[in-house]
Amino acid sequence: MKMRKLLMIPGPTPVARSIQDQMGRETVAFGDSAFVKDFKELLEDLKGLFKCSGETFVVAGTGTMGMEMSIANTTKRGDNVLIVSHGFFGDRFIDLCNRKGLNVDVLSSEWGETVPVEKISEKLSRKKYAAITVTHVDTSTGVSAPVDEIGKMMRSFPETIYIVDGVCATAGEPEYVDDMGIDILFTGSQKAFGVTPGLTMLWASQKALERRKSFRDIPEYYIDFEKWLPIMKEPSKYYATPAVNLIWALKESVRIIKEEGIENRYARHKKFAAAMQAALETLGFKVLAREGCRAATLSNLVYPEGTADAKFRELLAEEGIVVAGGLAAYAGRMFRLGHMGNIDKHDLISVIATIERALYRAGMPVELGKGIGVVQKHLVE
Ligand code: PMP
């Protein structure tokens, strides 16, 4: 009999049946009145849920396109940009900005740590920066950045656009665009929204929209705010073909989020993360991110001494869950476990039980049931 495989990598995440069903619907014209109504409602919901009085863009693409879109619309060749990096995805902005001919300064932390906010503020006071980028949750480290605290500090630097990469956070970690002083927030559909990959969602403040308007044409065509703004205001218009079924799928995901309540969703993510991290520490793994800056959406777990990465993940897959390997210096030393989106208590128990079986089969010392006990205690609290 074929064993079910739980997809527990940090994106794509498990896609709920009702979301998958939207992908299977008969595709209609993008000008279809029912579809246009759905798209409009989705955009309004996205603005409301993430408290954005500016504009929301939903465009076919991935998280990387969100990175590119935010930089393309707020900076021009020769501008200074400050990149705050807590790992691999923070660093991705370096290459992206260098290619655009920007002057890049980088503040990096050790993997598992965050850059202190005072250090960022100090850097910003020394030079005029067109934009700053912060990765809310860096998927390579499982570190969550203090985006709210940084936003408060950013009020002293009104000429700088505050860009937050929410790819591994949005809809799993609290984010309020206006209240947190964020100018651009973006994410991809495949993470905490629990939709298949393929959509970029981007929220832009009035300030970010004005920055774009202050330029004439920008070199980029597909990702130009000015090209998409008329469509986001009136989705019956055409600029480039919208991903009809993905938009329906996202709408269903937003319906699920509203039904759960976004605050409840954030609380659930926090609770699930605490349960998983405690159980995995009991089983001998070390959570890479320092306590106090651990993400609610995924955990990056350093292996106990003597664990063979490839073999362990192969056994895990055989036992029924798929996780991701470590990146860069942590390749072979760590695995990454997503626990975001539309997952429930059943999934948590299955994951820990599967990890226990894989450890046992790998010949590692493990007391079967010990991790499950820890999860159970967290879940009944
Ligand atoms: N930023 C972060 C924090 C990410 O985790 C990822 C993807 N793992 C990206 C950006 C890039 O997104 P995508 O792979 O969808 O292009």
Predicted TM-score (pTM) of the model is: 0.98
Ligand 1 centroid–CA 250 distance in Å is: 18
Question: In this structure, what DSSP letter does residue 242 have?
Answer: -
Question: In this structure, what DSSP letter does residue 25 have?
Answer: S
- pLDDT tens digits for range 162-188: 999 999 999 999 999 999 999 999 999
| pLDDT computed for residue 306 by the predictor | 86
Helices (H), 87-126: 88-99, 117-126
**Per-residue pLDDT at 2 exceeds 90:** no
Mutate to test the pocket of ligand 1, among 64, 195, 300 (most ligand atoms within 8 A of CB): 64
- pLDDT tens digits for range 230-267: 999 999 999 999 999 999 999 999 999 999 999 999 99
| pLDDT computed for residue 1 by the predictor | 86
**Per-residue pLDDT at 282 exceeds 90:** yes
Largest CA distance in the chain: 65
- The span from the CA of 132 to the CA of 23, in Å, is 36
Atom of ligand 1 nearest to the CA of 62: 15
162 forms bridges with which residues in the sheet? Answer: 132
- pLDDT tens digits for range 326-368: 999 999 999 999 999 999 999 999 999 999 999 999 999 999 9
